[in-house]
A = this chain, B = another copy of it.
Amino acid sequence: MRLAVYSRFLEQLQEQGHGTVSSCMIARGTGVTPAQVRKDLAYFGEFGTRGVGYDVEALSGHLKRILGLDRKWPTVLVGAGKLGSALALYEGFLTRGFHIVGVFDIDPDPVGNRFGQLDVLPMERLEEVIQRYGAQIGIITVPANAAQEVGERLVDAGVRAILNFSPYVLNLPEGIIVRHVDFTLHLETLTFNLVYKKEEFKTF
């Protein structure tokens, strides 16, 4: 996760024309400690030069290769509701190499709608599209009760990594990489911290 944050920060620096950067600067810009930054980067090789710092462009390139962002990732999105459409139209994905090659929905209502350059396709065509584009990444934005079935179909069709926005904990085979993004869960960590802030637990 931190590598991805560094990567984005480096891109910012590149745009601003910085030539080199120190671990302290990266630390301040990303909210971690300088030692942490150095440890993280050193784990993958010696990218810096002592006494000077890191070359912004070189380091940015290294990070992108490490994160797998030096290639295009065909991605499918299932669930064309409000959230699905927001994600399908989000330019941030494209600029980082994530190409949405298909948006799917069971509900025939949004099918046929155009999201940017994409049609919403019926679920029947899911497997076909995944295989045609070799999509390894799937994004799930369907309601909780449909999430497990969608996850299984994605995996069976060849998807190996899933970003799950539904409020349901997916149960998928070992080896499939799943990240669960659940908004209410995040809000609940906020309220937890608000409640325990002034009380006995100073840890939080």
Interface residues of A (CB under 8 A from B): 1, 3-5, 7-9, 29-31, 66-69, 73, 75, 81-83, 85-87, 89-90, 92-93, 96-98, 136-137, 160-163, 167, 169, 171, 175, 177, 179, 181, 183-195, 197
Contact = CB atoms under 8 A, between A and B. Distances in A.
26 contacts: A3-B192, A4-B188, A4-B192, A9-B169, A30-B169, A31-B169, A66-B195, A69-B188, A69-B191, A81-B86, A82-B90, A83-B86, A87-B183, A92-B183, A93-B184, A93-B187, A96-B188, A98-B184, A98-B187, A137-B190, A161-B190, A161-B193, A161-B194, A163-B183, A163-B190, A181-B186
A5 B195 CA distance: 18
Contacts of A137: 187, 190-191, 194
Copies in the complex: 2
A117 to B, nearest CB: 16
Nearest to A189: B1
B1 A160 contact: no
A12 to B, nearest CB: 9
Contacts of A190: 137, 161-163, 177, 179
A73 B185 contact: no
A85 B87 contact: no
A181 to B, nearest CB: 6
Contacts of A93: 183-184, 187
Looking at A185, A188, A197, the one whose CB has the most chain B CB atoms below 10 A away is: A188
